[in-house]
Structure 1
């Protein structure tokens, strides 16, 4: 399901960033940075050659780099080894680069790249799993309910792969033809991991097996996950593209999926319901790295657990005020929150009518915040955005929604992918903070600022910053008055913050304290009041991506702490617009680099006045 942004909406906030997007189409981009900038650009292209799907997501697989549009990442053990060699060589080149005299932006980029590459290389030294380079889906399980080519390829083909002419259609077919090797590379890795004693929890394997079985059944259909995007996007391109894609799927992709499914069934035969890494080989070591990658800090699981408990207590006190004002005074905060969401006018209809209404309400909330953004930023991003339903095969293992910016050249909009498999998980309580988090002024908005930086900075991301910013964006929406006449929305905003606080509790509980899935579910539901279907999806996600969920609240708290520091240092000279601009203009960074960027903003403001 697709919901297009109107011309009027896309023109709101058109500023210098539009010009920046045009400039980004003519790479290389690290102009003015001399030898260091040239190195950063070379590293960006060498990295994109290893992960060509990201070039398509960014819209830079054009011209001399058009071959990237036809290729897929090598996810076999040999592919992992190639990435390790790249990282080792890149870190050596960065170490040899003189730092004296670098402009602040280039110095920041050098620090960001070194941190991302070092963290990824350390993760790849672990005996198994997926350690990404500047991405957020680090996991011990190369294939699981929310990870793997069986999901990633259809998602990319649907959301990012352009089909405007015969060359694009040919590139689409080339990627389909490359898919079996990517699947088989993953299958080899999960078999090798099993032989080391690493088997995912049985309940995750059940979801994965069910999802992959559905994908295989639909794979060859004209509207299926592999063929459908080409049939739809290439409808006006002369040629027998649908038939050719179906032949590739039937002859090569389905057999590769069946081979992967067979390995997953072998794993299911020896799996247990033990949820966390603590009971798995090298689990303690892997989780320590997962927390480091997820938070860009060295905080321990015990520290993060305590942080979550304290934050949750504060948020539930604020939720209690709203619930009492609504006449809900008996029962726990979670029980009363559940009761509130069952009131008339809060939910949406069942079925497709509800799905349509949900997307329309999400768009309404996005439209409502746009006029308020000049109060929070000096320069407005375009906010080029559309809201789309996730591919149905992905929905059972996916969160309620996720989002990110579009291509650098602006041709493809940013997207909020919304999970509409069970429309009842969305209502007028839960939707507003969701769209501010995923869309504007959250991931889509912040990502557009990052795309004005050198290419390598658009390729790399840090979970704590990106998710911390998205949570901070929810806070900005509150501060800009978006809940002034919407107690349901403000309750949902506080629920969302409580949800992220309990992530600290549950993620560390599962992986460091030996919690069962049932205990994690009970803690999650008791803390948030979210429906059980939401809770199951969330807890299973924490089991699959250890440490990732801890980045949200850690990142938000750090941004707020830096804002408090700036207010104290600048007094009357502090302006929210300048602070927020400094944070987004600095790009996606580790939290230590964020602090340095804020120090630079404070010093510049003090000198200027």
Structure 2
């Protein structure tokens, strides 16, 4: 899933009162000693990320200037942000915990973890963000060349002439961002931090897709269509075209040239072990994304053990259906190639696949009140990954709704290779990314009136992805596969996939596996197509550690539930369990265990 950043104007209470409905209990609650500090942190965070303010609809009022800005990507800004994070950490560590309630201590510990991880990652003089810490500023998954066009197309609303003017200013800022990141690429290359050759090939292919004349540029078309829809001057399209041709394309060409220069000396080694201080970077990234202190060796063994258990269950389910020949992975691969489980390889077929996912989302939402006491009020829908981003995009991902609900929560599927998505794979991924997965969890956090805004919008991959994997399991438990036994096999192979991720991620970055070995492992173990396996492996190469967070997080949710069942017996209530583990928003896994222990003790 993507990082969400927002802003607290004035005090935590004042912004929450203006953006979200508050219960009388929340309105009468005493102010937290953390409120002024959290307000300062959120203010600074928003000023660093205008894109985040727009994404959550908070670029208004005193912060309306941010609507025309983008984040500063320069080396100087990166250094300043690191210094600011160190100063923020010092302020957080100076808080007197004795003045805080247990809930406030959870809030503090969660924000502390984020800052401590950022400081640890900030010790490395390279990298950026790609669903977590990445050693590379620009790759097939990181870089403004891909994030800003998507942001302007999906997040920047055009209702007035002021919105259109702000859009043009952001186009100019986009050119500056490209040049700033190109300079960071040069610095990384000088320090021997160069992405693998296959990653640069993907990156260059995506840049080539973006590099079109103004008449074909999505950024220009978005403004032209938006302005026309509101009856604004046709000159906006002309001005956008001039900015594209005169500023954006030259900056993009400079970045393409730098990527080509790096490609000329790039090696094929896939893991970060090859980088200066790469052996130190991987454990830091692993800890940041999984929020555990497990070593790479421990994560590797955990993955192998989990895969063995899940594989045995998958084998048993396939045998019930009469599929007995070959490994479970080979059997699933054969089923995945069967035309009766595939949508047509056409634009119409892709549209049918998205419609099918939206139908599944609606179907499961009707069953959720049986296991949840509270559901988010936000709208959710499934969309296709923009074709220009498909080559390097994750297979599927979610984006949270805006705070005010004006933009729905979105689930994206990468349908570049429609053969990668048999129906039984689409179903469980819809539950993972949508309901009761990411969109359920993030929607409940955003609408939780007790949570400080800094907590609503922060995130931990171990918790978020662990919950989404638990959501796949829950879908099975509430009967979503009772009339779809092959769908249950798809769910199990998805669980197997996440266990194998722990093996492959540590294999690439710690045990020095090649890309080819990692791809072959996925194909053999779970029946992936080579193209789908390759896209996943490429993702892990630029986002070390994050792939392991899914199964590790899932194990914590399951452990807490099983512990509660053992102690509470007939008194165990699934709705109460869900309420307890979702009550505090995303937290580090160690904090989640503490939350679970406290709930069980009080039950």
TM-score, reference length from structure 2: 0.93
Matched residue SS, 1:382: coil
Deviation at 1:33, TM superposition (A): 3.0
Do the aligned partners of 1:30 and 1:454 also contact (CA within 8 Å) in 2? no
Which residue is equivalent to 2:11?
none
Cα distance in 1 between the residues matched to 2:321 and 2:185: 51
Q: Aligned runs of 1:253-292 on 2, under 5 Å?
A: 253-292=248-287
Could you tell me how far 1:572 is from its partner in structure 2? 2.5
Q: 1:227 aligns with which of 207, 217, 220?
A: 220
Conserved 8 A contact 1:44-1:459: no
1:480 matched to 2:474? The reply is no
Aligned pairs (5 A) from 1:597-608: 597-605=595-603
**Contact 1:141 1:200 (8 Å CA) reproduced:** yes
Question: Contact 2:132 / 2:289 at 8 angstroms: preserved in 1?
Answer: no
Deviates more, 1:561-570 or 1:273-282: 561-570
Report if the CA contact (8 A) 1:146-1:394 is conserved: no
1:538 aligned residue (525, 536, 539): 536
Q: Is the CA contact (8 Å cut-off) linking 1:389 and 1:419 kept in structure 2?
A: yes
| Partner residue in 1 for 2:174 | 179
Q: Equivalent of 2:64, from 63, 66, 79?
A: 66
Separation in structure 1 between the aligned mates of residue 336 and residue 298 of structure 2, nearest angstrom: 33
Change (3 A) 1:122 1:71: same
1:53 aligns with 2:51: yes
Q: How far off is 1:496 after superposition?
A: 0.8
Distance of 1:241 and 1:32 partners within structure 2? 49
**How far apart are 1:30 and its partner, in Å?**
12
Q: Is the 8 A contact 1:400 1:425 kept in 2?
A: no
Q: Within 1, Cα distance between the matches of 2:555 and 2:21? A: 34
1:410 aligns with 2:405: yes
Deviation for aligned residue 1:552:
0.6
Residues 298 and 207 (structure 1), Cα distance of their counterparts in 2 relative to 1, 3 Å cut? same
Q: Hey, what does 1:107 align to over in structure 2?
A: 105
Any gaps of 5 or more consecutive residues in structure 2?
1-15
Distance 1:44 1:141 in 2: 26
Q: Which runs of structure 2 are paired with 1:9-88 in the superposition (5 Å)?
A: 22-23=20-21, 32-88=30-86
Q: Is the 8 A contact 1:276 1:512 kept in 2?
A: yes
Within a 5 Å distance, the mapping from 1:189-200 to structure 2 comes to 189-200=184-195
Residue 511 (1) aligns with residue 509 (2): yes
Whether the 8 Å CA contact 1:404–1:439 is kept in 2: the answer is no
| CA pair 41-566 structure 1, distance change in 2 beyond 3 A | farther
The question of whether the paired residues in 2 share the 8 Å contact of 1:136 and 1:294 is answered with: no
Q: Is the 8 A contact 1:428 1:488 kept in 2?
A: no
3-state SS of paired residue (1:498): helix
1:183-229 deviation per Cα after TM superposition (whole angstroms, max 9, x unaligned):
111111111111011111101111111110111126x235x332233
CA distance in 1, matches of 2:487, 2:154: 29
Could you say which residue in structure 2 is the equivalent of 1:467? Answer: 465
| Cα 1:241–1:585 shift into 2, 3 Å | farther
Q: 2:122 — aligned with what?
A: 124
| 1:291-310 equivalent positions in 2, closer than 5 A | 291-310=286-305
Secondary structure of the equivalent of 1:198?
coil
CA distance in 2, matches of 1:45, 1:202: 40
- Asked whether the equivalents of residues 378 and 401 of structure 2 are also in contact (C-alpha less than 8 Å), the reply is no
Are residues 1:422 and 2:420 paired? no
Match for residue 548 of structure 2 among 536, 543, 550: 550
SS at match of 2:585: coil
* 1:383–1:445 contact (8 Å) kept in structure 2: no
Contact 1:180 1:253 in 2 (8 A): yes
> In structure 1, what is the equivalent of residue 577 of structure 2?
579
Name 1:252's counterpart in structure 2: 247
Q: Is the 8 A contact 1:500 1:553 kept in 2?
A: yes
Deviations 1:49-77 (A, max 9, x none): 11221112222112212222222111221
Moved over 6 A (4+): 18-21, 28-31
Aligned partners of 1:30 and 1:273: how far apart in 2?
A: 60
1:365 positional shift:
0.7
Aligned residues: 581
In structure 1, which of residues 368, 372, 381 is the aligned counterpart of residue 376 of structure 2? 381
Q: 1:54 to 1:508 in 2, by over 3 A?
A: same
Q: Which residue of 1 aligns with 2:557?
A: 559
Distance 1:504 1:225 in 2: 37
Note the C-alpha offset of 1:98.
2.3
Q: Residue deviations 1:448-480, cap 9 Å, x none?
A: 111132211133111111111111111111111
1:524-555 Cα shifts (integer Å, max 9, x gaps): 11111121111010011111111111111111
Secondary structure at the counterpart of residue 217 of structure 1:
coil
Whether the 8 Å contact between 2:375 and 2:444 is mirrored in structure 1 is no
Name the structure 2 match of 1:324.
319
Is 1:242 aligned to residue 237 of structure 2? Answer: yes
In 2: Cα distance, 1:318 partner to 1:30 partner: 51
Distance in 2, matches of 1:105 and 1:228, equals: 47
Residues of 1 paired with 2:76 and 2:386: CA distance? 30
Q: 1:31 to 1:148 in 2, by over 3 A?
A: farther
Q: Distance in 1 between matches of 2:482 and 2:19?
A: 35
Aligned residue for 1:151?
A: 146
Partner of 1:446: 441
Give how far 1:231 is off: 2.8
Find the residue that maps to 1:403 and give its secondary structure.
Answer: strand
Q: Give the whole-Å Cα distance in 1 for the aligned partners of 2:164 and 2:340.
A: 45
- After TM superposition, give the deviation of residue 383 of structure 1 in Å: 4.4
For 2:18 and 2:554, locate their aligned partners in 1 and report how far apart those are by CA, in whole Å: 27
Please state how far the C-alpha of 1:247 moved relative to its aligned partner: 1.5
Is the partner of 1:402 in helix, strand or coil? strand
Deviations 1:67-91 (A, max 9, x none): 2222211122111112112212211
3-state SS of paired residue (1:416): strand
Q: 1 CA distance for matches of 2:241 and 2:29?
A: 45
Contact kept in structure 2, 1:31 and 1:37, CA below 8 Å: no
Paired residues of 1:176 and 1:248 also in contact (CA < 8 A) = yes
What is the match of residue 589 of structure 1?
587
